[in-house]
Structure 1
């Protein structure tokens, strides 16, 4: 690829990225930030009458973050291009596993919010594994090394079924039916948990139990049986437990995603290669493989 063409691609990326557009935006008379229209010829903040102008704000963003933002975009373009040239593909199953792991690290999110996060995560996951493969290219790692590593750390590569739950525990069925009636009328589950639940450990958090794998010892086994019959973002009928009458809410259900050695071998090899090379997961060594020009220098 010619310098001119690659530089054109970088410029397009720069222009189309919303965050970077803020850094370089100069001539428009208005901007939209958090759905609010901002006049670029007016102050964006006032402190005891002292103004911070829009232009001062943009200048500070450009000077402090502009280079990092542009470098990040170049890194992603380099990795994407080289991975395509070398036929490096990442298993969809690996991507699904990593998205599942990231999902379990989230708190409560709406279905829409989670879908938006998953799109961003997928892009980052593909970049990370492609970068790892490119950096590890040519390293010598034996099958016996990858097999030994898999045998020792097998479980850390697997993802086991997990459900994200909330519950409301009440003392009797009559109270439970009252709660269900309010839910059917559109009441918020977490608010009802705060009001009605007798579980002191969770009521102040809206009954939230977090993500739990099916082998956990912290939840009653029948919770998972009930959850199996629920659709995501729905609640159960009341059922009797050792602690009272429960109403369960299923936020998210994540299935098993497990791997054989053969499926993981190339990823373990790349991981071990970077360890042996003491190579950080950064794209800098790949810059020399392409002709790159950018506003900050050669």
Structure 2
């Protein structure tokens, strides 16, 4: 086959592949965040009377408003991750788990799917933060071990995470009523609706009995609740619990175990933290850009 003809065929195939890819990109399904709904890039995302807003208009608005900021964030993450790998910087899994636990306690009730998606994003942000801190601290003089240990002894508790439980409860007049409410739960009744209808706890009943995350060692958590937390699984409710003159049923949404550190485990992170604090250095990746030739559309 003549060489020119072969090249022509190759070019035609390349063009066809590019066109196919563009057409596929135009029509691929997109799952909207926090919903089961899917749309294509050609779809309308909102209708207001006779007006409509298309997906492309929506995306263009996002690009104009947040495009540079989001792209810069992605570049920062890439730079930091590459430099951390080159410097063999590893973030301890316990550090990541503690940060995830701290963030989780600020959230409401999440489904498993929502939690997995959120934790994936949080995980990336946590690793980025600690890698960046370690990279920036490398250029500064080490803090004397005596100062690091003194800081640890003063603030040791802030580096640990206490065993915590995300709870809802229904507080009732007595065990007899609690048994009746428990029977309704067994028959498939909604825990939040039963809390709204029957609970004596005015602070939580209007929110379906939701108590939030509670330190299991807290003196404000009844001892009988602590015992039940150890018995039941996540996303299940307890049998009726005696509270003296009253009774209760608890629902365990999430149980997070204690995470604690020895001085040796946490000292490297305190070292970085103190080094940056002493220099007045903020967690900004800008000084690291010089390590790469960054070519991006905004500059």
The alignment's TM-score, normalised by the length of structure 1, stands at 0.84
1:1-298 alignment, distance < 5 Å: 28=26, 32=30, 34=32, 35-37=37-39, 40=42, 44-45=45-46, 47=48, 49=50, 52=53, 54-140=55-141, 141-297=143-299
Any conservation in 1 of the 2:224–2:242 contact (CA below 8 Å)? no
Secondary structure of 1:218 counterpart: coil
String of CA shifts for 1:103-160, please: whole Å, max 9, x gaps.
Answer: 1111112233222222221111111100100011121121122112111111111111
CA shift, 1:271, in A, is 0.7
Q: CA deviation at 1:54?
A: 4.8
Look up the SS of the partner of 1:164 in the other structure: strand
Contact 1:95 1:122 in 2 (8 A): yes
Classify the secondary structure of the residue corresponding to 2:26.
coil
Deviations 1:47-71 (A, max 9, x none): 5645555544433322221111111
Evaluate the alpha carbon distance shift between residue 236 and residue 85 of structure 1 in structure 2; reply closer, same or farther with a 3 A threshold.
same
Unaligned runs of 5+ in 1: 1-24
User: 2: distance between equivalents of 1:166 and 1:53?
Assistant: 41
Q: 1:178 to 1:63 in 2, by over 3 A?
A: same
CA contact (8 A) 1:164 1:211 kept: yes
CA RMSD of aligned residues (A): 2.3
Cα 1:213/1:243, change in 2 over 3 Å: farther
Structure 2, unmatched stretches of 5+, are 1-22
Instruction: Please say which of residues 151-160 and 108-117 is displaced more in the overlay.
Output: 108-117
Q: CA 1:190–1:48 in structure 2 vs 1: closer, same or farther (change >3 Å)?
A: closer
Name the CA shift for 1:245/1:44 in 2 (closer, same or farther; >3 Å).
closer
Given that 2:171 and 2:246 are in contact with CA atoms closer than 8 Å, whether structure 1 keeps it comes out as yes
Distance 1:217 1:295, change over 3 A: same
- Look at both structures and tell me which one has the larger radius of gyration over its CA atoms: 2
Distance (Å, rounded) in 2 between the aligned partners of 1:124 and 1:243: 48
Q: Distance in 2 between matches of 1:52 and 1:96?
A: 41
Match of 1:4? none
- Using a 3 Å threshold, how does the CA distance of structure 1 residues 251 and 28 change in structure 2: closer, same or farther? same
Separation in 1, partners of 2:207, 2:52: 41
Structure number with the bigger relative contact order (C-alpha 8 A, sep ≥ 6) is: 1
TM-score (norm 2): 0.84
Query: Number of paired residues?
Result: 273
Alignment deviations for residues 194-218 of structure 1 (CA, whole Å, 9 cap, x no partner)? 1111222211111111111133232
* CA drift at 1:237: 0.8
